[in-house]
Structure 1
Amino acid sequence: MLSTLPDLHRSFAEQFKLKFQSDSRIHSLLAGGSLVHGGFDKYSDLDFVVVVDPHYYDNIMAQRIVIAGTLGHLLHAFTGEHVGEPRLLICLYGPELLHVDLKFVTLDMLTQRVEEPAVLFTRDSLALECQLAKFKAQWPDMTPEWFESRAWIWLHYAVVKLGRGELFEAIGMLSFFREQVLGPMLFRRANLPQRGVRRIEFHGIDPDDLLTSTLATHDSDSVSMAIRKAVDAYINLRADALPENIADDAARWAVLAMLKAGTRT
């Protein structure tokens, strides 16, 4: 597997593998991301799951940045609380820049997972295989009701920011809406895992340019039109799997009325 990677990635991955193999506290090293999903290229990150002996887990967690610094020329690193994953260490290595994610877990933590990892090394293949076999990887796709509960609140946020003249905030919300709602719903339409807007250009799943129609410049009329297009795109995609919590669509009409009133002032 590693032999197929670009030179920079292969060199780092092999170096990481050797370093972790030499540390008796490390039970296994697993790889995920593009290495298992496919589409790996020179722009890809390296995503590793470091399985730690539970007796040393707290110690390893306390020393994560120090350990990461022994693996290569570490420029910066921070932990992943912003994505709800405090076990994750996000690293940037140099001098030729490479993004590497290191998630530190124990065997018992290999429960809920979104992908089936590749095993780069393990000290106990039977224990690892048994643990992985207990649970099936499942991508966290959202339900129609999840989208409906959030869509109009987020769109309302964009409308009020537009009304106040906070165009950057409104544009930011539209970007967030594409990532959290429209992109995943386009993936759903294509019967693919809902991966935000990741690589969406390469899947060819937006032939009607629903996403590009929601792009705005720093101009009130442009932002207003983009919000309207975001509403249209959501209604278009919502029809694929109607949520049970539409009710009378009151939130939709209220948001549109507010947007219309705001553009007249």
Structure 2
Amino acid sequence: MQDTIFHAFINKVVAVLQESPDMLGLAVAGSWITQEMDAYSDLDLVLVSKTKLSTDPAQMKSVAQSFGNVLSAFTGEHVGEPRVLICLYGNPLLHVDIKFLTPDEFYQRVEDPIVVWERDEILTKIIQQTTSTWPYPDYQWIEDRFWVWIHYGALKIGRGELTEAADFLAFLRMVVLGPLLHIQNGNQPRGVRKVETKLPNADFEALSATVALLDKTSLVTSLNKAIVIYEQTRTVLFDSSVQLNSEAEREVKKYVAAIST
């Protein structure tokens, strides 16, 4: 049933785009590529046009409204992608992300979406001529920050700002622990996306142990679990080019031990 809803929406979008000479192609990204769509999926569309639409949110919304009943829509600055319009459609209720690109912008891709409509095979030719590249974290960037972050989390626990400390651990899972565990297991580093099914049980249980109660003892335990995961994944993934900050590591571990008492 849900699959029918997705196809019906895409067909409607294609019918609208075909009427505009400015529109060049439509592709579907995300779970559509791997055929993992389910009743809880959103729809990730890539819309390519001659005119650069992403500089005008009002124009982006106008295009989105031509596809159906938009209940709410906003651009994706909060996820670092202002070219994406995040839409909630009604009748049926459907979450749709629309990325507005020009052909030149389509050359730079993190994945190869499935082309569902195009003029003169413009998207297919670009995909054939170029290679998509999923962004991977910079290990040195992580190491340069990790022990400062751990110290920050310890400060919050020590002060009794337990909710902020719990939020910090969520940040650490999203930015460091989840991506490193994914990479270690041959997955794309998508934060904590689908860790429940993409990671081995032992790794998922280790990551789950960093989810703390709003309690000092629980938070300190989870912070130490985060350190263990980082050190283990670092040993597997980092090569000799990554310079470890051993002094910061040593002093921060002492501090974490001190607030544990």
Report the TM-score, using the length of structure 1 for normalisation. 0.90
Is the aligned partner of 1:252 residue 2:245? no
Distance 1:166 1:28 in 2: 50
| Cα offset, 1:248, TM superposition | 5.2
Deviations 1:169-193 (A, max 9, x none): 1111111111111111111111221
Tell me if the contact between 1:187 and 1:205 (Cα under 8 Å) persists in the aligned partners. Answer: no
Tell me if the contact between 1:29 and 1:122 (Cα under 8 Å) persists in the aligned partners. Answer: yes
Aligned equivalent of 1:66: 62
Aligned equivalent of 1:165: 160
Corresponding letter in the other structure for 2:140: E
Tell me if the contact between 1:161 and 1:170 (Cα under 8 Å) persists in the aligned partners. Answer: yes
Distance 1:189 1:50 in 2: 33
Distance 2:199 2:98 in 1: 31
Q: Higher mean Cα deviation, 5-14 or 101-110?
A: 5-14
Alignment of 1:1-265 (within 5 A): 6-54=3-51, 57=53, 62-125=58-121, 127-208=122-203, 209-243=205-239, 244-247=241-244, 249-264=246-261
| Aligned-partner SS, 1:31 | strand
Distance 2:199 2:178 in 1: 12
Q: Higher mean Cα deviation, 167-176 or 155-164?
A: 155-164
| Aligned-partner SS, 2:44 | strand
Distance 2:143 2:201 in 1: 20
Where in structure 2 are there 5+ consecutive unaligned residues? Answer: none
Corresponding letter in the other structure for 1:190: N
Tell me if the contact between 2:184 and 2:233 (Cα under 8 Å) persists in the aligned partners. Answer: yes
| Cα offset, 1:156, TM superposition | 2.0
Distance 2:142 2:196 in 1: 22
| Cα offset, 1:250, TM superposition | 1.6
| Residues paired across the two proteins, number | 259
Deviations 1:100-119 (A, max 9, x none): 00010100111221111111
- C-alpha change, 1:146 and 1:166, in structure 2 (3 Å) is same
| Aligned-partner SS, 2:237 | coil
| Aligned-partner SS, 1:35 | helix
| Aligned-partner SS, 1:239 | helix
| Cα offset, 1:39, TM superposition | 1.5
Where in structure 1 are there 5+ consecutive unaligned residues? Answer: none
| Cα offset, 1:123, TM superposition | 1.3
| Cα offset, 1:52, TM superposition | 0.7
What is the RMSD computed on CA atoms of the aligned residues? Answer: 2.1
Distance 2:10 2:87 in 1: 14
